[in-house]
């Protein structure tokens, strides 16, 4: 398959890691994947092209409107590739009626002046095939396609047995790992869950180790959010200081796995909207590549359907502190679950699988 | 003829009042005019349609941003309406050589950005209109576009009570230099002789978040302390349906214009709606240009020099200025009624 991906390039946000995987792993699987762009010097693994005619399909990966190119590029794409060969992966549930979950939403006119219906009309005008990274799309004219995937080769540190893993992890926990818990991701619609997590682990923070949040707007609420009255990117710098949370700015997508591997624990948190729609992200899978214990903070049913039965032990309920203390007491059992989940992800959610699923959808 | 406008509509800014007038004047003249979109309670006087293919022409009303012409809106229009039936009203003079006034206001910051605009325009339409008497680029046609709607006129009998002596209704977008150099010093000189003063609109006392990131911080210059010292009340913007009524709460209304527009002699909605209000407009534009637009009486209402004296004079001799305003209204009715504008626009659309 010759696939041209169209999306705004950003080294530290959205689907750049997944797109890079499609380019790199697609090549090894006999596909040719490029990003619609001028050459990007510091990402040599991602080929670029401005020649849509040379591809079988054009895949728009859309989070927000700037993911579509400006004119005249958009017109060239529309002119040169028929709608039947254009695909949209709507990563944030835009192709739905307007939904509000807590402070989260899939359309917000005051941010981009596009009304909800425009997302549905617009997507339908651009592409015949509309995909959403969920197992259960709400609309019948959207196809479920998880898009993101797990790359076993990207696993930071391989272990033969859970015992080896637990031993290494426990030793690193006291001697080498820099952090007790890190989260890498931007503070967009995640604060309510992060606050809850931090409050719950605060009493045992000494036994966890240093905590670090990496990404955009963990330490301030942007002025524009206040001006527009947009909630969901709140923060509480006093609370973060009291707990001793270290804040770091964005890191490049290729630094996420090694950075998370410096921590004993890493939460997997999805936006409230994503939890409701069952949407997955790059981090849903990538976290399992890091040398860390994932704390699955997504709905049980979703965790089960994505990660398989082995991950049930990794799902964190209300008692986060109790869960972490249990991991510290019985690391081998948890690492057994992690290794089983990695194997499950490699079997069910590899990028090879994604290409097969995509081909099957397109052949229909 | 059926005309569909496409724009980044906002209830409290831009040209939405003008579109409302086109819809109404079109109905009176046998034209079917609508705005792209679905019925929206914020725009009660506007007809909407998304049936793009049913229109003879699609007219994009473009101001200083083009990101709203996004992939959610453009593909259907590009696919269903051929380029020969698409036109652009270039309301902010983007289709020009780079024009920079006093190294302050400008249409494009540099040539690459300008070229991006031009290539964008080339895809969207093959006709570009500008609301000015003298377009500078040979590829642009003059279509004055904005007009006067006598049905909006508020008579003294139906006007709301006067709350202000001086009122300025509009947003602080590239206007601070004119305000701070011409209007505020004048107000300062004669402040004891003036009653309440109000600025109604956005960004008079704050700079919007994100302005610096977008490189447009200088468009929002302000001095809240000075405004406070002059006892100028800052009030939030109002929806377009309230603008003429709010203007009518002022004995005098000031119209300022961003420097780029003054340089390019670009018309706006405000040129005309201010004369629908029950007020005495003072238009801070060149007096020659004022006469071209408003007729001979317009020159008297354009206080290029002596702003302070003019403010006091208008308040002291209201009848004289009411007569001047009536003269201007007659002129506007004869030359700038929206019925004329609709015919001019359709003629321009049909011209090869």
Task: Tally helices (H) and strands (E) across chain A.
Answer: 16, 14
Nearest to A59 by CA among A112, A23, A106, A98: A23
* pLDDT of amino acid B194: 98
* Cα(A130)–Cα(B212) distance, integer angstroms: 37
Q: Which of A75, A78, A224 sits opposite B209 (nearest CB)?
A: A224
For residue A223, list chain B residues with Cβ-Cβ distance below 8 A. 209-210
Min Cα distance B191 → chain A (Å) is 33
> What is residue A44's DSSP assignment?
T
What's the CATH code, domain B2-147+337-350? Answer: 3.40.50
Q: Which residues of A touch B88 (CB under 8 A)?
A: none
pLDDT band at B305 (very low <50, low <70, confident <90, very high): confident
Burial B16-25, CB ≥16 within 10 A → b, else e: bbbbbbbbbb
Backbone angles phi, psi at B101, to 5 degrees: -105, 120
**Cα–Cα distance between A99 and A314 in angstroms, integer?**
29
Nearest residue in chain A measured CA to CA from B77: A125
Q: Please, are residues B151 and B217 in contact by the beta-carbon 8 Å criterion?
A: no
Which residues, other chains included, contact B298 with Cβ-Cβ below 8 Å and sequence gap of 6+?
A: B283, B287, B290, B291, B328, B331
Kindly report the nearest CA distance between residue A348 and chain B, in angstroms: 34
Q: B74 φ, ψ to 5°?
A: -80, -40
A287 half-sphere exposure, CB direction, 13 A CA radius: 26
Task: Flag if A222 and B120 touch (Cβ within 8 Å).
Answer: no
* Chain-chain contact of B75 with A122 (C-beta, under 8 angstroms): yes
Chain A residues with beta carbon closer than 8 angstroms to that of B69: 71
Q: Are the beta carbons of B119 and A126 separated by less than 8 Å?
A: no
> What count of CB pairs under 8 Å joins A to B?
70
A115 in contact with B, Cβ within 8 Å: yes
CA distance B228 to B231: 5
A214 DSSP β-pair partners: A184, A248
Q: At the topology level of CATH, where does A2-149+351-363 sit?
A: Rossmann fold (3.40.50)
CB contact residues (below 8 A), chain B span 153-212, against chain A: 208-210
Contacts of A68 in chain B (CB under 8 A): 70-72
Residue A292 near residue A264 (C-beta atoms within 8 A): yes
How far apart, in whole angstroms, are the C-alpha atoms of residue B321 and residue B318?
Answer: 5
Strand order in the sheet with B2-6: B48-49, B32-36, B2-6, B57-62, B86-90, B127-130, B140-142
Distance from CA of B51 to the nearest CA of A (A): 12
The H-assigned helical ranges of B46-85 are 74-80
Check if B37 contacts A (Cβ < 8 Å).
yes
Q: At what angle do helices B318-335 and B307-316 cross, to 10 degrees?
A: 100
Cα–Cα distance measured from residue A337 to residue A298, given in angstroms and rounded to the nearest whole number? 17
Task: Say how far apart CA A84 and CA B89 lie, in whole Å.
Answer: 33
Best mutation target, A86, A90, A110, A125, to test chain B (most B CBs within 10 A): A125
Chain B partners within 8 Å of A69 (Cβ): 71
Residue ranges of domains in chain A: 2-149+351-363, 152-348
Pairs from B115-119 (Cβ < 8 Å, separation ≥ 24) = B116/A70, B117/B66, B119/A71, B119/A72
| Beta-ladder partners of B174 | none
DSSP, residue by residue, B142-173: E-----B-GGG---TTTSPPP-EEEEEES--S
Distances in Å between the Cα of B76 and the Cα atoms of A60, A199, B126, B213 are 17, 49, 18, 32
Nearest by CB to B120, from A60, A71, A122: name it: A71
Q: Is B116 on the interface with A (CB under 8 A)?
A: yes
Q: Rounded to whole angstroms, how far apart are CA atoms A269 and A94?
A: 20
**Architecture (CATH level 2) of domain A152-348:** 3-Layer(aba) Sandwich (3.40)
- The H or E element spanning position A8 is none
Residue in A with minimal Cα distance to B11: A113
Choices 3.40.50.1980, 3.20.20.140, 3.40.50.720, 3.40.50.2000: CATH for B150-335: 3.40.50.2000
B2-147+337-350 and B150-335 in the same fold: yes
Q: Cβ contacts (< 8 Å) between A118 and chain B: which residues?
A: 72-73
Residue A65: list chain B partners with CB under 8 A: 67, 70-72
Question: What pLDDT shows up at residue B303?
Answer: 92
Residues of A in Cβ contact (< 8 Å) with B10: 113
B73 → chain A, closest CA residue: A122
Show the CA angle centred on residue A175, arms to residues A172 and A179, nearest 5°.
70
Which residue reads 């009486």 in tokens? Answer: B297
From chain A, the residues in CB contact with B68 under 8 A are 113
Residue B42 contacts A where some CB pair is shorter than 8 Å: no
Task: Say whether pLDDT at B213 is over 80.
Answer: no
A220 near B CB under 8 A? no
Residues of chain B found within 8 Å of residue A95, distances taken between Cβ atoms: none
Q: Give all strands of the β-sheet with B164-169 in edge-to-edge order.
A: B232-235, B197-200, B164-169, B250-255, B280-283
| Residue B210 with chain A: CB contacts under 8 Å | 223-224
- Whether B44 and chain A come into contact, CB under 8 Å, resolves to no
Residues 59-78 (A) with a CB less than 8 A from some CB of B: 60, 65-66, 68-72, 74-75, 78
Give the residue extent of every domain in chain B.
2-147+337-350, 150-335
Pick the range with the lowest mean pLDDT from A12-26, A161-175, B88-102, B112-126. Answer: A161-175
Least confident range from B6-15, B20-29, B112-121, B202-211: namely B202-211
Helix, strand or coil for residue A56?
A: coil
The rounded distance, in Å, linking the Cα atoms of B155 and B160 is 10
Interchain proximity B72–A223, CB inside 8 Å: no
Peptide bond into A72 cis (omega under 30): yes
For residue B167, pLDDT beyond 60: yes
Rg (CA), chain A: 20
Q: In chain B, which ranges are continuous DSSP H helix?
A: 16-29, 74-80, 111-124, 176-178, 184-190, 224-229, 243-247, 259-264, 270-273, 287-294, 296-300, 307-316, 318-335, 338-350
Q: Rg for chain B (alpha carbons), in Å? A: 20
Beta bridge partners of B164: B250
CB spacing of A114 vs B38 below 8 angstroms: no
Q: What does the pLDDT look like over A344-357, one tens digit per residue?
A: 999 999 999 999 99
Check CB contact of A117 with chain B, cutoff 8 Å.
Answer: yes
Distance from CA of A123 to the nearest CA of B (A): 7
Q: Which residues make Cβ contacts (< 8 Å) with residue B65, sequence separation at least 6?
A: B8
Tell me whether residues A222 and B76 touch, CB distance under 8 A. no
User: Tens-of-pLDDT digits for all 364 residues of chain A?
Assistant: 999 999 999 888 889 999 999 999 999 999 999 999 999 888 878 999 999 999 999 999 999 999 999 999 999 999 999 999 999 999 999 999 999 999 999 998 888 889 999 999 999 999 999 999 999 999 999 999 999 999 999 999 999 999 999 999 987 555 679 999 999 999 999 999 999 999 999 999 999 999 999 999 999 999 888 888 888 889 999 999 999 999 999 999 999 999 999 999 999 999 999 999 999 999 999 999 999 999 999 999 999 999 999 999 999 999 999 999 999 999 999 999 999 999 999 999 999 999 999 999 998 8
Q: How many C-beta neighbours within 10 Å does residue A102 have?
A: 15
A122 vs B10, B72, B122: nearest CB: B72
CA–CA distance, B246 with B163 (Å, rounded to integer): 10
Q: What is the pTM of this model?
A: 0.92
For B123, name the nearest residue in chain A, comparing CA atoms only: A72
Burial track A306-328 (b if 16+ CB lie within 10 A, e otherwise): bbbebbebbbbeeebbebbeebb
CA nearest to B117 within chain A: A71
**Inter-chain CB proximity A122 and B73 less than 8 Å:** yes
Q: Are A4 and A52 in contact (CB under 8 A)?
A: yes
User: Nearest Cα to B52, choosing from B89, B15, B86?
Assistant: B86
A223 touching chain B per CB within 8 A: yes
Question: Which of A190, A253, A207 lies closest to A42 in space, CA to CA?
Answer: A253
Measure the CA–CA gap between B308 and B189, rounded to whole angstroms. Answer: 7
Phi, psi of A251 (to 5 degrees): -120, 160
| Contacting residues for A319 by C-beta, under 8 A, at least 6 apart | A200
Task: Tell me what the mean pLDDT of segment B106-133 comes to.
Answer: 93
Output the pLDDT for position B65: 86
Pairwise CB contact (< 8 Å): A113 & B209: no
Q: What pLDDT, on the 0 to 100 scale, is given for residue A174?
A: 55
* CB contacts, 8 Å: B75 with chain A: 74, 78, 122, 125-126
Tokens 């995640």 locate to A190
């Amino acid at each position: 398959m010759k696939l041209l991906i169209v999306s705004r390039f950003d080294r530290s946000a959205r689907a750049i890691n997944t797109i890079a995987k499609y380019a790199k792993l697609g090549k090894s699987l006999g596909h040719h994947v490029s990003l619609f762009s001028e050459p990007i010097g510091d990402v040599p693994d991602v080929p670029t092209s401005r020649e849509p005619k040379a591809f079988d399909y054009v895949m728009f990966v859309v989070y927000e409107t700037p993911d579509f190119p400006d004119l005249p590029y958009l017109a060239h794409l529309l002119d040169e590739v028929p709608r039947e060969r254009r695909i949209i992966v709507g990563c944030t549930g835009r192709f739905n009626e307007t939904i509000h979950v807590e402070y989260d939403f899939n359309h917000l006119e005051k941010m981009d002046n596009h009304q909800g219906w425009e997302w549905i009309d617009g997507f339908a005008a651009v592409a015949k095939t509309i995909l959403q990274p969920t197992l259960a799309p709400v609309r019948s004219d959207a196809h479920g396609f998880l898009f993101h995937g797990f790359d076993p080769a990207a696993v930071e540190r391989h272990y033969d047995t859970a015992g080896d893993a637990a031993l290494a992890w426990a030793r690193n926990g006291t001697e080498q790992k820099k952090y007790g818990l890190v989260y890498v991701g931007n503070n967009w619609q995640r604060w309510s869950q992060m606050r809850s997590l931090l409050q719950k682990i605060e009493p045992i923070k000494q036994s966890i180790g240093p905590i670090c949040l990496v990404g955009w707007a963990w330490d301030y609420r942007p002025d524009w959010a206040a001006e527009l009255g947009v909630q969901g990117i709140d923060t509480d710098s006093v609370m973060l200081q009291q707990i001793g949370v270290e804040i770091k700015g964005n890191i490049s997508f290729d630094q996420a796995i090694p950075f998370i591997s410096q921590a004993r624990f890493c939460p997997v948190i999805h936006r409230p909207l994503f939890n409701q729609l069952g949407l997955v992200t790059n981090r849903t899978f990538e976290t399992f590549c890091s040398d860390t214990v994932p704390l699955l903070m997504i709905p049980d049913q979703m965790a089960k359907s994505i990660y398989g039965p082995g991950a049930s032990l990794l799902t964190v309920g209300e008692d986060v502190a109790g869960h972490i203390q249990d991991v510290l007491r019985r690391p081998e059992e948890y690492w057994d679950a992690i290794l089983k989940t990695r194997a499950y992800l490699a079997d069910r959610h590899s990028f090879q699988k994604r290409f097969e699923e995509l081909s099957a959808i397109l052949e229909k | 003829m059926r005309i569909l406008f496409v724009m980044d509509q906002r209830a409290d800014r831009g040209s939405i009042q003008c579109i409302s007038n086109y819809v109404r004047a079109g109905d009176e003249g046998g034209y079917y005019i609508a705005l792209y979109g679905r019925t929206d309670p914020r725009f009660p006087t506007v007809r909407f349609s998304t049936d793009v293919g049913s229109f003879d022409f699609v007219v994009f009303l473009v101001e200083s941003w083009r990101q709203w012409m996004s992939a959610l809106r453009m593909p259907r229009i590009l696919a269903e309406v051929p380029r020969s039936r698409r036109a652009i009203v270039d309301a902010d003079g983007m289709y020009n050589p780079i024009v920079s006034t006093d190294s302050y206001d400008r249409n494009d910051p540099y040539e690459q950005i300008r070229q991006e605009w031009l290539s964008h325009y080339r895809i969207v339409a093959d006709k570009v209109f500008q609301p000015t008497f003298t377009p500078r680029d040979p590829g642009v046609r003059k279509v004055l576009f904005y007009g006067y709607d006598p049905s909006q006129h508020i008579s003294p009998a139906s006007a709301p009570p006067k709350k202000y002596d001086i009122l300025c209704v509009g947003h602080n977008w590239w206007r601070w230099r004119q305000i701070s150099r011409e209007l505020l010093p004048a107000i300062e000189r004669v402040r004891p002789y003036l009653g309440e003063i109000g600025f109604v609109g956005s960004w008079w006392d704050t700079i919007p978040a994100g302005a610096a990131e977008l490189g447009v911080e200088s468009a929002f210059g302000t001095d809240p302390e000075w405004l406070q010292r002059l006892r100028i009340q800052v009030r939030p913007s109002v929806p377009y349906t309230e603008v003429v009524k709010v203007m009518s709460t002022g004995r005098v209304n000031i119209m300022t214009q961003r420097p780029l527009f003054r340089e390019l002699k670009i018309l706006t909605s405000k040129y005309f709606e201010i004369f629908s209000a029950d007020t005495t407009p003072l238009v801070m534009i060149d007096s020659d240009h004022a006469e071209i637009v408003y007729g001979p009486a317009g020159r008297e209402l354009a206080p290029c020099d002596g702003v302070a004296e003019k403010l006091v004079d208008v308040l002291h001799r209201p009848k004289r200025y009411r007569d001047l305003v009536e003269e201007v209204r007659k002129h506007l009715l004869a030359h700038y009624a929206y019925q004329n504008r609709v015919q001019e626009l359709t003629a321009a659309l049909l011209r090869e």
